[in-house]
Amino acid sequence: MIISFDDLKKELYAICIQYGYCEDKSEIISTVIAESTLDGVYSHGVNRFSQFIKFTEKGIIDKDANPVFKAEFGSSEQWDGCSAPGITNARFCMDRAIHLAREKGIGFVSLSNTNHWLRGGTYGWQAADAGMIGICFTNTKPNMPPWGGKDSRIGNNPFIIAIPRDSGNIVLDMALSQYSFGKIHQFKLNGEKLPYPGGFDKHGNLTDDPVEILEEEILQELVQRLGIRFVDLVAKHRELDPEIMDDISTARIYLANEAIELGLIDEIGYLNDAVSQAKKLAGLPDNAKLVVYRRTEYPDDNLYNTATRFGSGNLSLISVDFLSAFSQFNTGFYYLWPSAAMNE
C-alpha cells in the first residue's frame, strides 16, 4: 500500500486532535513525523507515532504544556520543557537559538524535562534553512556499554551538525553507535537481521539479532525503572537531606548499619521482626497467620517470584504457622491476610 504525504499528514493531524492536542501542536507534530517518514527515516517517523500516543495517554507527555523560561546568561538560555511533546519543545528551542544568534552572533539553548524529539536532524534542517550553522545533541538513558565494557553505562545519544549553502544544505544526523535503537526496532519489525552486529544478547555476546538486542534493552530499562521507583519512594516517605538523596540515587548497595545512618531504615532485625511490625501497622492480632501465595515452579525463577514445593503437593495457596514452617520455604512474596487469622 502506498500512502501519499498529504494523506499521512492529514491522518496524523486528525489523531493528534482526537487526543486533545491543539491545532498548532497537531500541525507541527504531524508535519515533522510525515516529513521524516517521507525521507525514509521510518524509525523516527511513523513507526514512533503509536508510542507517542501511548505516552500521551499515560500522561508521560503533557499535551497542554509549553516550555517555561528558567535562566539566561549572555547568548545562552535555559528552558524547562515541562514534559511537553519533544517535537514542539525542540522546535521552540531551536527558534530561540536562531533568534539569539541573529541578535548576538551565536546562540546556546538548553532544555530539560522534555520528551523524545524523534528525528534530531529535523532541528538541524531548521537551523540551516534559517541560514545558520546548527549543532544539536541530547542525552538519553544508559543503553549501551562503553568501549571494552558489557553493561549499559552510556546513552546512544544523537548528534547533528547542519551547514547551510546555496546548492543545498548539508545535514549530518547520526547516533554514537552503528545503529540507533529506532533503526534496530525497524529491523525487528521487518523480520531482518542487522547487516553488522549491533548489540549484546542476555549472555553478553555480540549479535546481529534485533530481537535479542532489544530483549536486553528491555531488561536494562526494567532495572532502571525499579531504581527510579526506589528513589521516588525514599524521597516521598523518608524526608532525607538533598545530599543523602544524591548519594542514594547512585543505586549502590548499603550495609544495614549504613542504611540506618542514612535514614533509609529505622532498625535492624530478622524477618520475624518485620512480620511482627507489619502486623502492628496493619492492625492485625499477634496470632495472625501467614498466608503464602505461590505459582508453578519455573527453572529461571528469581527471588521475587520463586515457587517451591511444600510437602508432596504443588500448592498455590497455603496458610502456615510462620515461625515453625518458614524455614521450609525459599524466598517469595508473603502477605498477612486478616481472613486467615479469623478462620484459624
Catalytic residues: 44
Angle at 311 (CA atoms; ends 307, 316), nearest 5 degrees: 40
Q: Are 43 and 183 in contact (CB under 8 A)?
A: yes
Reading the block at residue 115, the C-alpha cell is 520528551
Q: How many helices (H) and strands (E) does the chain have?
A: 12, 11
Q: Are 23 and 30 in contact (CB under 8 A)?
A: no
Reading the block at residue 336, the C-alpha cell is 498477612
DSSP 88-134: HHHHHHHHHHHHHHHHHS--EEEEES----S-THHHHHHHHHTT--E
Go through 35-66 and write b for each residue having 16 or more CB atoms within 10 A of its CB, e for each that does not: bbbeeebbbbbbbbbeebbebbeeeebbbebe
Residue 256 φ/ψ, nearest 5 degrees: -60, -45
Residue 320 φ/ψ, nearest 5 degrees: -135, 160
Alpha-carbon distance of 288 to 277, in angstroms, equals 12
How many Cβ atoms from other residues are within 10 Å of residue 272's Cβ?
A: 12
Alpha-carbon distance of 244 to 242, in angstroms, equals 5
Alpha-carbon distance of 166 to 6, in angstroms, equals 28
